Structure 1
Amino acid sequence: MRIFALNGTRILGEAIANAVGLPLDEHEERDFEDGEHKARPLVSVRGQDVFVIHSLNGNIENSVNDKLCKLLFFIAACRENGASRVTAVVPYLAYARKDRQTKARDPVTTRYVAQLFEAVGTDQVMTLDVHNLSAFQNAFRCRTIHLNTRSLFAEVIAHKSGGEPVAILSPDGGGVKRAQLLKETYERISGNAAQFGFMEKRRSRGVVSGDLFAGDVKDATLFIVDDMISTGGTMLRAAEACRQRGAKAVYAIATHGLFGKGAEAMLAHSAVERTVVTDSLAPFRLEEDVLQTSVEVIPSAPLFAQAIRRLDSGGSIAELLGDED
């Protein structure tokens, strides 16, 4: 087995490799003056089961498109040099939100990205809590491995609630299934029942509307769950609605902390006790003091490491995720 982590995902890559029990393998990345890029493994990959770790979030150094191209080129180089199998380990998968046409002549970018992975010979794509699981699985013709954070976040909920009444809420209709599954996992792990709720949200041309609120949250410790936090507007809208309906405390939980423009206002708002995310795309675009006071980061490396070991040995991913039933 060979494990590589491209620049920009080195910290998470090292944590995953350490959890697997192997060092990261050496590779080279070079940027040229004209903007072109070269990447290659510095060890033999011939006949090897290769895992390439790279999270596709944009940052100051590299755009999403830069990181996607670098990952695709490195995968292609591994196949060119005899790797028996190449798995793209993509903790955060870019373009997963644009999975259907909502306006005339819209692109379906999720499918285009899938075709790019397939074109360079990717055998498997592993990711964590994509925006729309059905769209992700249907876009790819190569094997997909979708990991979820339900067990990780269920333990967080059990710890923070301290045995008090719990409610788990989706901030929009599209995340109802995600919140329901987290509720079931929490109940199984803790042995305690939880309330469930969701909010209506419609977005058109940047305007958010919808007033429906379903669920009893009065006197409950409330956990709003989503796949990502970008500007934080959706989370803050839901948190304020829960506070107005008598929630005792409100926590925001999301797998991917994109934390774009405007997110700091949500993180500092009194309606939200604390925001909990994984390290799927650390380092974050936040000032250090905001990160320290408002955000709790849950490590995802052990989950990825277990999945990698099982894939290499032919083990069951469904068993790892508790999906056998």
Structure 2
Amino acid sequence: MHFKPEEILKTESHLGQIGLVATEGAKELVDRVDEYLRGWAGTQESFIVDSGCPRFSSGDAKGILNETVRGRDLYVFVDVGNYGCTYDLFGYSNHMSPDDHYQDLKRIIQAVGGKAHRISVIMPILYGGRQHKRSFRESLDAACMLQELQAMGVANLYCFDAHQSMVQNAVPLMGFDNIMPYYQVLKTLKKDFPDIVCDKDHFMMVSPDEGAMHRNMYYSSVLGVDLGMFYKRRDYTTIVNGHNPIVAHEYLGASVEGKSVFITDDIISSGESMLEVGRELKRRGAADIYCYATYGLFTGGLKDFDKAYADGMIKGVLASNLTYRTRDLQEREWFHEVDCSKYTAYLIAAVNHDVSVSNIIDPKDKVEALLEK
């Protein structure tokens, strides 16, 4: 870092005082970010703006700010993947969908009414991010979302490990940063598994598919280890659950025999692909297998991962705290959480004082220092 947040947060910013706004589902992350910012600023006063999106029993809602935000530099957090949030709908308990969270984000922006100095949105998992391109007669949800937020006066949007960051081309005049928590991942891996030897003879990276190659290439480059890849052979004649089913995983790369293998991706959805890759690597003689995804969704439940861990197929699964994690997941012995709250607080402190975030977005120096240590 070229700046110290404990120094700059004690100086006045021309962009206004920081204001953190948490939509339903993002409150846990915002609380932790606020704790870091208060510590650096040396104040007991919270940066969190008192707000809410109450709902009528019919399902209608409204955004409310319970204090003034005039002239403040606002950072509105939204976790569109938090299905653990519920609301009453005609007597039924309804789980919030990504659409519900996104609507609440827009309600909060409406409540601001143009009074803030600047509005930035921190949306770790990008709304509609998995539908980033048009192949047939399809919607382009992420692109439309970005254009809508730009029209509402949002100055910047910050996301983490977007499924496809090229969606930012929809808003070339709006700030868009796709942040990768490389350092936080490696720090957690080394802390929780201190016996790992990250050199070319004992360790290698494997990408679960061609789409995840860029993040695995980064790890292999900074670690100086070999990189392998699986190619997903799909049946393009049918569609199951919105996508073409995988027929087989074909491996390309150096031998994994006797090596510890680290597999990284942006999302673990059902986890079928990650586990199939793990099984194939074990068949090829891999030693310990570690998995990471920025967003551990586990839409198919945890039983398959429980079995894989019990059978010794996987050594551990890492995922960030940037989206909702169930209590059951957090209590699993094989689950290791990557905390990105301090990283997010660094970002906000820098942006609020117009400090370059290049070293925050590309933590190569910090990764090298970690490995030397």
Could you tell me the TM-score, scaled by structure 1's length?
0.90
| Distance in structure 2 (CA, Å) of the matches to 1:120 and 1:324 | 35
Q: Is the 8 A contact 1:233 1:263 kept in 2?
A: no
The answer for the alignment partner of 1:316 in structure 2 is 356
Instruction: Return the letter of the residue paired with 1:168.
Output: M
Question: Which of 28, 43, 63 is 1:39 aligned to?
Answer: 63
Question: Which of 320, 337, 354 is 1:278 aligned to?
Answer: 320
Question: Which of 156, 165, 169 is 1:124 aligned to?
Answer: 156
Q: Is the 8 A contact 1:125 1:143 kept in 2?
A: yes
How far the C-alpha of 1:58 sits from its partner, in A, is 4.3
Q: Find out whether 1:307 has 2:347 as its counterpart.
A: yes
Q: Find out whether 1:250 has 2:289 as its counterpart.
A: yes
The structure, 1 or 2, with the larger RCO (C-alpha pairs under 8 Å, 6+ apart) is 2
Q: Is the 8 A contact 2:82 2:323 kept in 1?
A: no
Q: Is the 8 A contact 2:162 2:266 kept in 1?
A: yes
| Distance in structure 1 (CA, Å) of the matches to 2:250 and 2:323 | 33
How far the C-alpha of 1:323 sits from its partner, in A, is 6.5
Q: Is the 8 A contact 2:29 2:341 kept in 1?
A: yes
Q: 1:183 to 1:267 in 2, by over 3 A?
A: farther
Q: Any idea what SS the aligned residue of 1:153 has?
A: helix
Q: 1:176-203 deviations in whole A, cap 9, x for unaligned?
A: 1111012223x2xxxxx32211100144
Instruction: Return the letter of the residue paired with 1:257.
Output: G
How far the C-alpha of 1:53 sits from its partner, in A, is 1.1
The answer for the alignment partner of 2:230 in structure 1 is 199
| Distance in structure 2 (CA, Å) of the matches to 1:110 and 1:267 | 34
| Distance in structure 1 (CA, Å) of the matches to 2:204 and 2:286 | 9
| Distance in structure 1 (CA, Å) of the matches to 2:159 and 2:306 | 26
Could you tell me the TM-score, scaled by structure 2's length?
0.79
Measured on the aligned residues, the alpha-carbon RMSD in Å equals 2.0
**Bigger-Rg structure (1/2):** 2
Q: Is the 8 A contact 2:182 2:363 kept in 1?
A: no
Q: Is the 8 A contact 1:30 1:38 kept in 2?
A: yes
Q: Is the 8 A contact 2:25 2:82 kept in 1?
A: no
Q: Is the 8 A contact 1:201 1:209 kept in 2?
A: yes
Q: Which moved more, 1:112-121 or 1:214-223?
A: 112-121
Q: Which moved more, 1:27-36 or 1:112-121?
A: 112-121
| Distance in structure 2 (CA, Å) of the matches to 1:242 and 1:5 | 41
The answer for the alignment partner of 1:138 in structure 2 is 169
Query: Identity over the aligned pairs, expressed in percent?
Result: 20
Q: 1:324 to 1:150 in 2, by over 3 A?
A: closer
Give the count of matched residue pairs.
Answer: 314
The answer for the alignment partner of 1:155 in structure 2 is 187
How far the C-alpha of 1:272 sits from its partner, in A, is 1.6
| Distance in structure 1 (CA, Å) of the matches to 2:139 and 2:20 | 33
The answer for the alignment partner of 1:174 in structure 2 is 211
Question: Which of 72, 78, 84 is 2:117 aligned to?
Answer: 84
Q: Which moved more, 1:141-150 or 1:65-74?
A: 141-150
The answer for the alignment partner of 1:287 in structure 2 is 328
Q: Is the 8 A contact 1:310 1:316 kept in 2?
A: yes
Q: Which moved more, 1:116-125 or 1:47-56?
A: 116-125
| Distance in structure 1 (CA, Å) of the matches to 2:74 and 2:247 | 46
Q: Any idea what SS the aligned residue of 1:248 has?
A: coil
| Distance in structure 2 (CA, Å) of the matches to 1:114 and 1:13 | 22
**Which sections of structure 2, spanning at least 5 residues, go unmatched?**
1-17, 39-45, 87-95, 366-373
The answer for the alignment partner of 2:31 in structure 1 is 14
Q: 1:157-186 deviations in whole A, cap 9, x for unaligned?
A: 44535226111111001111111012223x
Instruction: Return the letter of the residue paired with 1:287.
Output: D
Q: Which moved more, 1:42-51 or 1:158-167?
A: 158-167
Q: 1:91 to 1:268 in 2, by over 3 A?
A: farther
